[in-house]
Amino acid sequence: MDPLSTLWETFFDWASMREALPEMVTVGLPNTLLLAVSAALLGSVLGMLLAVAGISRTRWLRWPARVYTDVFRGLPAAATILLIGVGLAPLGMQVWGPNPYPLGVLALSLIAAAYLGEIFRSGIQSVEAAQLEGARALGFSWGEAMRLVIIPQGVRRVLPAWVNQLIALIKDSSLVYFLGLVASQRELFRIGQDYAATTGNESALLLAGLFYLALTVPLTHAVNAIDRRLRQGRPVAAPDVDLEPTGLATPSGKDPR
C-alpha cells in the first residue's frame, strides 16, 4: 500500500468519523463549551481584579498581583491543572463530590486570569489620562471614573486579545482529561482520543480537531467585526461636515439618522 493512501485511511476514515460524531455533538461539544465558557467568565472576573490591583497605588495590592501573574503565566497549563485538580482533590471532594469539573474550571480560570489580567491592565493603562481628568471634573470618584469611563474603554481596546485568550481556553479545556473523566464528562478531545485508541484509527481525533476549528475560527472573525464596530460606534455615517459659524441650526436633512 502506498504511503499516501495509508495516510488517507488513518485520518479520513469516514466510517470512524461517523461513528464518533453523535457522541461528539451530544457529549463532547457541550462539555468543552461548559468548561471554556465557565473558565472564561471566572477568569475574566479574576483577571479584572488582578488588573486593578496591578495599577493600584498600594504596594500590597500591586505586589501580590505581580507574583500571581508571574507564577501562573510561567507554569505549563498541564502542570497547573494537575496541581490544582489533584492537589485540591480532597477539598473538592468535600465541596462538589467526585466531579472533576469544578476544580478543572478553577485551574483553567486561574491560568486565564494571569493572562487576562495583563491584557486588561494594558488596555486600562492605554486610556488617556485626560479621560480620567474629564470624569473626575464631573464629580466622579476615582473608583466611579474607573468603572464607568476608563475600564469600559480599556476593555474595548483589548477585546481581540481577550478573544485570543478565549480561544486558548477552548483548546486548554482538553487538559482536564488528566483529572479522570467518566463517560458523560468527556469533552471533544477525550472522545476523539478514546475512539482513536479503540479503533487504532486517528480519524475521530481529526474530527475533534475540526470541532475545535469550528469553534475558534468564527470567534477570530467575530472579534474583528465587533472590534470594527466598537471603534466606529456603528456602521459609518456619511462624513459629517457642518460649518459652525452659520451652522448652529444644521438642516435636518443632513442628519445621518
For other proteins, the binding residue among 30, 64, 152, 180 (CB under 8 A) is: 152
Residue 175 to residue 6: CA distance in whole angstroms: 29
By the rule CB under 8 A, 57 interacts with other proteins? no
By the rule CB under 8 A, 252 interacts with other proteins? yes
Cβ proximity of 189 and 174 under 8 Å: yes
Q: 112: number of CA atoms within 13 Å, CB side?
A: 32
By the rule CB under 8 A, 141 interacts with other proteins? yes
SS3 158: coil
C-alpha cell at 74: 510561567
By the rule CB under 8 A, 70 interacts with other proteins? no
By the rule CB under 8 A, 235 interacts with other proteins? no
Residue 198 to residue 201: CA distance in whole angstroms: 8
Cβ proximity of 1 and 165 under 8 Å: no
C-alpha cell at 83: 496541581
Nearer residue to other proteins within complex by CB, 3 or 235: 235
Segment 71 to 110, residues that bind other proteins, using CB under 8 A: none
Nearer residue to other proteins within complex by CB, 61 or 230: 230
By the rule CB under 8 A, 230 interacts with other proteins? yes
Nearer residue to other proteins within complex by CB, 157 or 190: 157
| Run of H or E residues at 108 | helix 101-126
| 35 closest CA partner among 111, 102, 115, 97 | 102
What b/e readout covers 15-35, taking b as 16+ CB neighbours within 10 angstroms? Answer: ebbebbbebbeebbbebbeeb
Sole window of 84-92, 111-119, 144-152, 209-217 interacting with other proteins (rule: CB under 8 A) = 144-152
By the rule CB under 8 A, 237 interacts with other proteins? yes
By the rule CB under 8 A, 140 interacts with other proteins? yes
Nearer residue to other proteins within complex by CB, 6 or 250: 250
| # residues contacting other proteins (CB under 8 A) | 36
By the rule CB under 8 A, 234 interacts with other proteins? yes
Interacting residues toward other proteins by CB under 8 A? 130-131, 133-141, 144, 148-149, 152-153, 156, 230, 232-234, 237, 240-245, 247-250, 252, 255-257
